[in-house]
Structure 1
């Protein structure tokens, strides 16, 4: 296998990992957004009833209510909902690029393309991914989540092993 075929394979693996990571990241953001909303709904709807029940533990309930008020005040500044939309849009675009890369793997693996053509295809795919990130993320920063990334890498390896018999 040539250096350029290996480079293309690594791009294929990277795109698949990126798709899975973005999917995991979106699920993570959605979980946090729902958890916050559920917490706020429970505390606001049960505060009167719980006040009577929890008279023995007034301090605990007062802390919970104060915490819910703080969360309500800062919720518009929390990034989860904003990130969720951007990540979902980006994931759709990266999935398309990943599928394009996967489609091109056959010609690369069979030696149908020159090294220059493989190089140009890798650059085009990376440029497409960069344009998608710029369009979808704009000024949104996605902190790297190492746990989600590790799971995405493992899932990508499993996918490529199942579909390409270890690929290389």
Structure 2
């Protein structure tokens, strides 16, 4: 039973690594896309406004939209989450490596059930500490598709590395 709990913790950790990586990548992409839109909209709109006077309203709307995005961008969570999520991912990767190293002893029966339980609880405590230190009150909205992709990536990792497929 404790071996299975430890194995499930390993799988959860690997999925969390993939999830956090995907989360950071998506937030970084969104932040860059907004910045690129604002740069293109303000630069191109001013230049083309003079050329295409018959579409002044379109260009005025594009400029107005880019100004709105510029005004609200500091309040959007994407950039604020990037560093904490990346830091947490680095810490979870280190915890996973430690847990994977201990897995050998667990899988070979070199640890008692009590020792396996203690290791499981210790690792969970490290994860909790890492989340508190890195996120510091930041709430990450759950992304179901990203979670499913992360779980699939974790399953693939364990299939390739432990089941010999």
Partner of 2:87: 89
Distance 1:159 1:63 in 2: 48
Runs of 4+ with >3 A deviation: none
Distance 1:56 1:111 in 2: 78
Q: Deviations over 1:77-133 (max 9, x none)?
A: 011111001100000000000111111111111011111000000000000000000
Identify the match of residue 19 of structure 2 among 18, 21, 24.
21
Aligned to 1:112, the other structure's residue is in SS state coil
Aligned-pair distance for 1:48? 1.8
Question: Over aligned residue pairs, what C-alpha RMSD do you find?
Answer: 1.3
Partner of 1:36: 34
Distance 1:150 1:55 in 2: 49
Distance 2:5 2:60 in 1: 59
What TM-score, normalized by structure 1, do the two folds share? Answer: 0.95
Distance 2:52 2:102 in 1: 64
Q: Which runs of 5+ in 2 are unaligned?
A: none
Q: How many residues align?
A: 165
Aligned to 1:125, the other structure's residue is in SS state helix
CA contact (8 A) 2:49 2:55 kept: no
Aligned to 1:139, the other structure's residue is in SS state coil
Partner of 2:119: 121
Distance 2:72 2:52 in 1: 26
Aligned-pair distance for 1:62? 1.6
The reply to whether residue 52 of structure 1 matches residue 50 of structure 2 is yes
What TM-score, normalized by structure 2, do the two folds share? Answer: 0.96
Distance 1:162 1:47 in 2: 51
Partner of 2:106: 108
